[in-house]
Amino acid sequence: MAVTLIAGLAAAGSAWAAAGFAISLGAAFGAFAIGAGLSMVSRALMPKPDMSAVMGGQSVTTRDAAHSRKIVYGRARIGGNIVYLESTGTDNKYLWLVIAVAGHEIDAYESVWFNDEMIYDGNYFGNWASFVNISFYTGDQIAADTALVAASNSKWTTDHKLLDTAYMVVRLTHDRDKFSSGLPNISTIIRGKKVLDPSDSSTAWSQNPALCIYDYLRHVKYGLGETAANILTASVNTAKDVCDEAIALDAGGTQARYTIDGVIDTAGSIKSNIESMTGAMAGRLVYSGGLFEIHAGEYIAPTITVDESQVIGEITVQTKQSRRSAFNGVKGVFLSEDDNYILADYPAQISTAYALQDGDPIYLDMPLPYTTNNIRAQRLAKLALFRSRQQEAITMPCNLSALRFKIGDNINVTNVRLGYDEKVFEVVGYSMGFSSDGQIVVNVDAIETAASIWDWTTSDEEVFLGGGEVALYSGKISVAPTSITVVATAYLNADGTTHSTFNVTWPASDDAFTDHYVVEWRLASPADQDYFSQDTRSSPFVISNLESSQVYNVRVKAINELGVSSTYINNSPTAAIDTTAPSAPTSVSANGEFEQITINWTNPSDTDFSHVNVYRSTSSGGTYALIGTSAGTNFTDTNLAVSVTRYYKLRAVDYSGNATKDGSGNPVYSSIVNATTTQVPVGGIADNAVDTDQIADNAVDIDQIAINQLCGRHFRLEDTEKRSG
């Protein structure tokens, strides 16, 4: 910003008298004031760089070989300058960045942002910890970052300590999805420089403009480098208290009257930096009597009255400011703390009454680089508006009694001819001259003021609508579908085996730039196995060749046209099995045979029929036990005694192990059949099947052979003899 430099008085009248006027006028009146009078308005009128661009670029990370150092007061979001950049690891997996954020020790880091996404505020958000590692240095460090020293192959050494510099060491792990748009803009919100409070000699972080200006005046490396003895401590303490005054808010509670939150660029001149800082408290810096005085903006009732007895010439009156200096509205930008310190328009302060007087709206564009609260910005804008409407300015030729007051003081002026009766004016400048008779004349420049200029009530607050940035699609985020549904199904193959599938469905992603989806699946156990993966353009998707009755992990993600993946949506379904049982066997019959019984039946027509289970009992209503299976149409129960009766029932089983059952899952069997084993049937022994060698002596007697059952030709002679004997 340009500087308003207003000549002032170096000393009070008594000092002049004591010096005996032995000093020259040029030396005596070498004092100045910054920020006095209408400087808040006049600053906006003078040529200056595009402050909006400067403010908007504050959070942008730069990479310059030689970059100006920054001083951060209060709280600010800053991008910093990349002073070192290196890739390490296998396939250059890691990217290291050293980002200097301030040329001094700071109080703390509060959060870190990648583009407009906060990824850290003491803890990493989401899964960022897998891709980012940040080491923070506040400027009081005495050693280099050990991790970077170990990884950099002697490029970043133990001598790279960046003493008295606040910086971050950021290590990024390569990932196409996380860094789809390349290297993000990295910024951080920090609590800046610790400052001295002369009222109690404590040093701590502060947002108080008076204390921060006091620090800048004494800063040897980047500030004015003035000694504390040359700064009026009482003025610092008074200004501090004014800045800390509580202002009531419409929503309840209070806020400090003035704060300072922003970045001082050492590339700017010291005078311009001081002027910007005093603007944060609507104040002024005065150098008078060999001392610097800091004053915060407030109304102080006059204690000095200037009347005809002190005026030694004609008073020049300007009743109206030029149109170029008249405004009826004030607007501008600030870095909104409500919108993560992005550039925004604070609610404009407009006077309809003034606009009617001027004929049309006339705006003052006043950026506020060190104000981050929209209500505080409104108060400063209103103050600038009403101070600009104080139209009447005067120049009074006075005697040396005018040396009692300084630039910025309010005085009462009484003059009968002009109709002034203790009319309040603010002193904005001096000039020296001589009257025609050689008398020294102090020409006092003043402009009217009033206590009402400083009035502020909660009803004055205007609604703040938020930041002035329009959200545009960047492609860095892909939107996942909102849900996933998995239906397990089992089918029968031609050979009767079961085929298990998942039918996976999901609603379309609410993102017009979605290109395709990726469906992935694996067995839930063991959990360390890889996923199967398949791309698809739309829902549904069928997963085949599953293991029946097993639990799976199934997930879907969206991929946009830039190749950026969304988060996954997950499901854990169980693969289906065939639960349909075959029909029971039909046409069941049983035939008794010598020491065995054969059961016959007709198999069911089910495609997946596997076999029949055969159950046996000794009675129709007894307990049946499984005695065997058969994939055919018969089963022979062997090793039975002769003339025994057994009961049988059958149950069909398919390849999935489903046995015949009813709708309630109860077992279903075929009809019960029975049969009795037989003795050797008639004709069951062929001719010559048994000879005497196979029949033991006396094994068969006459009582066991019925009459006429054997004919004589069946016996040899010796058999007959044995029989008759």
Q: Give the 3-state DSSP-derived string for 205-265, with helices as H, strands as E and coil as C.
A: ECCCHHHHHHHHHHCCCCCCCCCHHHECHHHHHHHHHHHHCEEECCCCCEEECCCCCEEEE
Tell me the mean pLDDT in the region 525-531. Answer: 86
502-524 pLDDT, tens digit per residue, is: 999 999 998 888 999 999 999 98
What is the structure's pLDDT at 370? 94
Q: Where are the domains of the chain?
A: 5-50+196-460, 80-184, 485-571, 578-725
- The neighbouring-strand residues paired with 294 are 285
Q: Give yes or no for a contact between 427 and 407, defined as CB atoms under 8 angstroms apart.
A: yes
609-623 pLDDT, tens digit per residue, is: 889 999 999 999 899
∠ CA 127-469-335, nearest 5°, is 90
* For residue 526, cis peptide bond before it (omega within 30 degrees of 0): yes
- 439 CB-near residues (< 8 Å, 6+ apart): 312, 399
What is the structure's pLDDT at 328? 86
CATH assignment, 578-725? 2.60.40.10
pLDDT band at 6 (very low <50, low <70, confident <90, very high): very low
pLDDT band at 34 (very low <50, low <70, confident <90, very high): low
Residue 45 has pLDDT above 80, yes or no: no
What is the structure's pLDDT at 459? 78
pLDDT band at 475 (very low <50, low <70, confident <90, very high): confident
Tell me the mean pLDDT in the region 45-56. Answer: 65
- The neighbouring-strand residues paired with 594 are 678
Q: How far apart are CA 82 and CA 64, in angstroms?
A: 7
Burial status of residue 714 (CB atoms within 10 A of its CB: 0-12, 13-18, 19 or more): exposed
For the chain, the residue count is: 725
Q: Give yes or no for a contact between 98 and 295, defined as CB atoms under 8 angstroms apart.
A: no
Residue 51 has pLDDT above 80, yes or no: no
554-607 pLDDT, tens digit per residue, is: 999 999 888 888 899 999 998 887 778 888 999 999 999 988 999 999 999 887
What is the structure's pLDDT at 9? 32
Residue 23 has pLDDT above 50, yes or no: no
Write out the DSSP string of 559-601.
Answer: EETT--B---EEE--B-----PPPPPPEEEEEEEEBTEEEEEE
629-638 pLDDT, tens digit per residue, is: 999 999 999 9
Strand ranges of the sheet holding 514-523, from the earlier edge strand across to the other edge: 532-536, 514-523, 552-560, 569-571
E strand residue ranges, 321-404: 329-331, 333-336, 342-345, 349-350, 363-365, 393-398
Q: Classify domain 485-571 at the CATH topology level.
A: Immunoglobulin-like (2.60.40)
Phi and psi of 698, rounded to 5°?
Answer: 65, 15
Residue 436 has pLDDT above 60, yes or no: yes
What is the structure's pLDDT at 156? 94
Q: Which of the residue ranges 115-124, 413-422, 661-670, 681-690 would you say has the lowest mean pLDDT?
A: 681-690
Instruction: Answer yes or no: same fold for 485-571 and 578-725.
Output: yes
Burial status of residue 359 (CB atoms within 10 A of its CB: 0-12, 13-18, 19 or more): exposed
Q: Which residue has the higher pLDDT, 495 or 660?
A: 660
Query: H or E stretch including 426?
Result: strand 420-434
Short-list 348, 352, 292, 589, CA closest to 465: 348
320-360 pLDDT, tens digit per residue, is: 777 666 788 889 999 999 888 988 999 888 888 888 888 88
Cβ burial 127-138 (10 Å sphere, 16+ → b, else e): ebeebbbbebbb
- The neighbouring-strand residues paired with 92 are none
264-311 pLDDT, tens digit per residue, is: 999 888 998 998 999 999 988 888 778 899 999 899 999 999 999 999
What is the structure's pLDDT at 187? 95
What is the structure's pLDDT at 683? 60
Q: Which residue has the higher pLDDT, 489 or 77?
A: 77
Residue 42 has pLDDT above 60, yes or no: no
Helices first, then strands: H and E counts in the chain = 11, 42
Phi and psi of 85, rounded to 5°?
Answer: -145, 125
What is the structure's pLDDT at 5? 30
Q: Which residue has the higher pLDDT, 486 or 549?
A: 486
Residue 721 has pLDDT above 70, yes or no: no
Torsion of CA 318, 319, 324, 326, to 10 degrees: 140
- Look up tokens 């849900």; give the residue: 483
pLDDT band at 661 (very low <50, low <70, confident <90, very high): confident
Look at phi and psi of residue 643 and say left if phi exceeds 0, alpha if psi is from -120 to 50, else beta.
left
Local structure of residue 459 (DSSP, 8 states): G
What is the structure's pLDDT at 564? 86
Question: Over the chain, what is the mean pLDDT?
Answer: 84
What is the structure's pLDDT at 14? 29
